[in-house]
Amino acid sequence: MTIDGSTRIIAIVGDPTAHIKGFARYAEAIAARGANAVYLAMHVAPDGLAPFLAGMRAVRNLAGLVLTIPHKIAALAFATPDEAARRAGSANMLRPVAGGWQASNCDGAGFLAAARAAGIVFAGRRVQVL
C-alpha cells in the first residue's frame, strides 16, 4: 500500500479505542481491494469531540468517520441526520459535506440484515438496538 497526498482517510472514533478489533478487518478489506485509503482508530475523549470534529472538517482527503461509544448520540449535535440517524437518535457514521457533517446510522439495518440471514423475522415488531 502506498500512502500519498490523495489517500482517503476513514477513521473509527471512540473512547477508548484500544479494545476495538473489528476495524482491522475493514482496513484489510480496503487494502485487498487496492483502494487508495486507510482506516485508522482515533481515541477521542468526550470533551474533545467538538474540537476534533472542527479540526477534521479541514482535512480535504477525509472520506468519513465511524463513531462508537461514547460519541454516537453526541455527534448529532454537530451534524445533519439522515432518516436512519434521526429515528435512532444517534449516528455511527459522519460524512463531510458542504458546510458541515451528514450523520447516518446503519446499526439498525445491520442488525436486521444479520437477523434475516439467521432466519429471524421481526415483521410488525419494534426492536431496540442498544
- Residues serving a catalytic function are 72
Q: C-alpha 114: how far from its chain's center?
A: 18
Measured CA angle at 129 (ends 128, 130), to 5 deg: 110
State residue 38 phi and psi, 5-degree precision.
Answer: -130, 150
Q: Where are the alpha helices (DSSP H) in the chain?
A: 23-32, 49-56, 83-88, 107-117
Q: C-alpha 4: how far from its chain's center?
A: 23
